[in-house]
Structure 1
Amino acid sequence: MSGSIKELSVHYDPINESNTFTSGDIVEGQVVLEVTKEIKVDSCFVTLTGDADVRWTEGSDDTSMTYRDHESYFKLKQYFIQESSKREQSERNTTLLYGETYGPLIRPGRHVFPFRFQLPQQNMPPSFNGYLGWVKYVLTVKLSRTWKSSAASKELTFVLRNDGTNDHLLQPQSGTQDKKIKLFGSGQMSMTVTTDKTGYMQGETISVFVNIDNSSSRDVKLKYSLKQQQTFIAGEKTKIGYKHMVKETRDLIPSREKSKFKVHLILPHDLTVTIKNCRIIKEQYELKVSLGVSFTSNPAVRFPVVILPPEQQCPPRQGPPVGFQSYPPPQPNLVPYPGELPLPPAGLYNSTVLPHPGAAAGVYPIPNAFQPGFHPAPSAPVYDPNQSIKESSPKVPY
């Protein structure tokens, strides 16, 4: 801060050990204002907003095209100081809340302004920070004076509410694939794959049971992978990136033999949760188990995997499928999950100023380049594991 304002900050009170919030929770806190001399304030207010935003640029120089979309979930606002001429006026797309108000003259010293909001009871996506977009829930205080303004913000971590509707995530998934060998061999192989359930929390272990009957003349290898896919949608344009969190090839199954395996996949604790309830951002995971066969397509079984925050843990099933004798394989080497996005160049934006950094100047911190380890996929429609991906519609300028 500069001039007569020594401090302007916003703080909230945690309501649980994980320091998270969900639909319907109460957010209480204080705005702290410290001034070195008396000042006159035109307005001072605090807002709580929930928004999603995607943005990327394709091409270069004169042929570049920027795509962007935005989704707003709510905007709650409480005034501490408001110009008398604007009192009782409604504001577009804003829910005004009324608390204690104060006079426009602020004397030297430290002042604390309490606020209280309730998050809407609606189905909103969890907090998310991806390579081309984000979902954010932000507290922002703004103080306006003649020819001057100051602001500060703090982000909340929002998670989905465990409302008892996730019972289907406790159900196991099962699939079978058969393949006849016609090239460089003969016979048939079959594979049945079963997972202990569908939904897992961060840091939990996925247990996969695999029965293989290799009645062919070829040796095969067991392969498995867990793929993370992020989809960003701006109008009719779609951008997809993916990353293999786990990708392993192991255990040889010789010709004319049967084998049973139990595979353990430990999920990283900082793995991003699944997002299905956002129009412009999707976060999905796919488990793939296949048999590696040379010179031909590999038979594979694919399952969706739902990643949940710790508060929504699905209890593990007790034991493997009936008649299954487990074979404990070594733990696979997990691919490290990338951490936070790198900071933007100095001066582009200040993350403590606006809930949508750089919005006023049109500058956004989301880079056009992909995060290390992410692979861009061709522009495509919304991901459907049962359909092939096709090129999306022509470019539409923003």
Structure 2
Amino acid sequence: MSRSIKELSLHYDPINESNTFTSGDFVEGRVVLEVTKEVKVDSFFVKLTGDANVRWTEGSGDDQETTYSDHERYFKLKQYFIQKSSKKGKSEKNTTLVDGETYGPVIRPGSHVFPFRFQLPQQNTPPSFEGNHGWVKYVLMVKLSRPWKPTSTTYTELTFVLKNDGTNDHLLQPQAATQDKTMKLFGSGKMSMTATTEKTGYMQGETIRVFVDIDNSSSRDVKLKYSLKQEQTFIARGRTNRGFKHIVKETRDRIPSGEKSKFIVDMTLPRDLTVTIENCRIIKVQYQLKISLDVSFASDPAVTFPVVILSAAQQCPPWQGPPAGFQPYLPPQPSLVPYPGELPPPPSGLYPNLYDPAVLPHPGAAVGVYPNPHAIQSGFHPAPSAPVYDPNQSTKEFSPNVSY
């Protein structure tokens, strides 16, 4: 970072205990900028983007190696703090410009806070995801551009979950299936297995319970096996790249020939298990539950069920407020600066009092009382400069540690 820029940081306000967002939520926060000397700015903005990306390579060697990639953008929201006059009012491709306070192009020495506010679009976008060959990310980024200087940026990620809007009632329906097998080689008789699940959809950390009824009327001993398998699929340029991973894989005690047995199978899901993704064009994450009978030297009778994994945050109770001791930032109080040439320069080291003292809060006035922004001395116009940030007004802030 440039010597003249001491701090450029980005902070957003959590809206629930799980620190997650979903479609329609508001994302509010602030950018803190501290400069050691006066700097001139070409543009200064914060943006919120939602994207999916896949990329993998097949083959080996320069002539045999082929890279497959694809990208999907869901939205790009941008709020300018400072924008070049020549670009004001112009539309930006695939970008939704968000209204907000704009400031003059010169930032004076000191700490300044710039508030922002976005609303996530009401659309069916996939949840946050990081996989072997792709990802879905929702990123807040701030960018500061100055004449003849390197651009300064910083960013953080938001965790996005699917909205629990009551349309997933089908995930509460139980599933059941029966599989029979008649022994012909290396045995005789018949075996039958019926498996029933309580529902189809499960939260991270929840326990999948399966009821299994086995009738082993064959001449062979068998064993009960069950597994939960995750499949990740990445799609690009008509090609697919699939990977499998067993979340659970177990074998239970044997069921002797001629016996009947009933089992209750419990599988506790990891709390950080990747959620199901079915609403992304280039990335799929799906789960399959398999119940089978292990028969030596013969094919195993099996039943399979689809399983949908949901974020535990989707059923969080209403948030009761921020953690104890958390003090949010107070709303910024921008100073008002006259347009150049309208008034003579102030004496060295002094700044004019731009507000009528009668409407200024007296020392010790209640926190949250701010002067009337319309009570301006004659000859001045509301062209705000960067708002000054008082660190004493905040005792704690949220700044998630994110690697990107």
Map 1:32-71; keep pairs closer than 5 Å.
Answer: 32-62=32-62, 63-71=64-72
Q: Which amino acid aligns with 1:52?
A: A
Select 1:281's aligned residue among 267, 274, 283: 283
- Between 1:39-48 and 1:3-12, the stretch displaced more is 3-12
Q: Which amino acid aligns with 2:263?
A: F
Cα distance between partner residues in 2 of 1:26 and 1:295: 59
Map 1:317-396; keep pairs closer than 5 Å.
Answer: none
Map 1:163-312; keep pairs closer than 5 Å.
Answer: 163-312=165-314
1:41: how far off? Answer: 0.4
After TM superposition, the runs of 4+ consecutive aligned structure 1 residues lying more than 4 A away are: none
Cα distance between partner residues in 2 of 1:246 and 1:309: 19
Contact 1:192 1:212 in 2 (8 A): yes
Cα distance between partner residues in 1 of 2:315 and 2:287: 17
Give the count of matched residue pairs. Answer: 318
User: What do residues 71-91 of structure 1 show as CA deviations (whole Å, max 9, x unaligned)?
Assistant: 000000000000101100000
Cα distance between partner residues in 2 of 1:313 and 1:210: 29
Cα distance between partner residues in 2 of 1:126 and 1:182: 49
Bigger Cα Rg? 2
Matched, 1:79 2:80: yes
1:127 aligned residue: 128
Cα distance change of structure 1 residues 104 and 352 upon mapping to structure 2, 3 Å threshold: farther
Q: Which amino acid aligns with 1:171?
A: Q
Contact 1:227 1:242 in 2 (8 A): yes
Cα distance between partner residues in 2 of 1:19 and 1:352: 13
Contact 2:216 2:257 in 1 (8 A): yes
TM-score by length of 1: 0.78
Q: Which amino acid aligns with 2:183?
A: I
Q: Which amino acid aligns with 1:299?
A: P
Contact 1:144 1:150 in 2 (8 A): yes
User: What do residues 93-117 of structure 1 show as CA deviations (whole Å, max 9, x unaligned)?
Assistant: 0000111100111111111000000
1:37: how far off? Answer: 0.8
Secondary structure of 1:209's aligned partner: strand
1:16 aligned residue: 16
Taking only the aligned residue pairs, the percentage that are identical comes to 76
User: What do residues 271-294 of structure 1 show as CA deviations (whole Å, max 9, x unaligned)?
Assistant: 011111000000111100000001
1:31 aligned residue: 31
Contact 1:190 1:213 in 2 (8 A): yes
2:141 aligned residue: 140
Contact 1:228 1:243 in 2 (8 A): yes
Q: Which amino acid aligns with 2:167?
A: T
Map 1:87-166; keep pairs closer than 5 Å.
Answer: 87-147=88-148, 148-166=150-168
1:312: how far off? Answer: 3.3
Cα distance between partner residues in 1 of 2:97 and 2:297: 66
User: What do residues 19-57 of structure 1 show as CA deviations (whole Å, max 9, x unaligned)?
Assistant: 000000000000111111111000000100000000111
2:394 aligned residue: none
- Between 1:142-151 and 1:46-55, the stretch displaced more is 142-151
Q: Which amino acid aligns with 1:41?
A: V
Secondary structure of 1:61's aligned partner: coil
Cα distance between partner residues in 1 of 2:218 and 2:249: 25
User: What do residues 96-141 of structure 1 show as CA deviations (whole Å, max 9, x unaligned)?
Assistant: 0111100111111111000000000000000001111000001000
Contact 1:200 1:313 in 2 (8 A): no
Contact 2:20 2:313 in 1 (8 A): no
**RMSD over aligned Cα atoms:** 1.4
1:352: how far off? Answer: 7.6
Cα distance change of structure 1 residues 265 and 352 upon mapping to structure 2, 3 Å threshold: closer
Secondary structure of 1:80's aligned partner: strand
Contact 1:37 1:108 in 2 (8 A): yes
1:251: how far off? Answer: 1.4
Cα distance between partner residues in 2 of 1:2 and 1:43: 16
Cα distance between partner residues in 1 of 2:9 and 2:57: 34
TM-score by length of 2: 0.77
Cα distance between partner residues in 1 of 2:28 and 2:152: 22
Cα distance between partner residues in 2 of 1:36 and 1:300: 70
User: What do residues 249-273 of structure 1 show as CA deviations (whole Å, max 9, x unaligned)?
Assistant: 1111110111100011000000011
Secondary structure of 1:157's aligned partner: strand
Q: Which amino acid aligns with 2:299?
A: S
1:311: how far off? Answer: 3.4
Any gaps of 5 or more consecutive residues in structure 1? 315-350, 358-398
Cα distance between partner residues in 1 of 2:232 and 2:402: 27
1:60: how far off? Answer: 1.9
1:320 aligned residue: none
1:313: how far off? Answer: 4.7
Q: Which amino acid aligns with 1:227?
A: K
Cα distance between partner residues in 2 of 1:284 and 1:90: 39
1:235: how far off? Answer: 2.0
Q: Which amino acid aligns with 2:4?
A: S
Cα distance between partner residues in 2 of 1:138 and 1:150: 16
Q: Which amino acid aligns with 1:91?
A: E
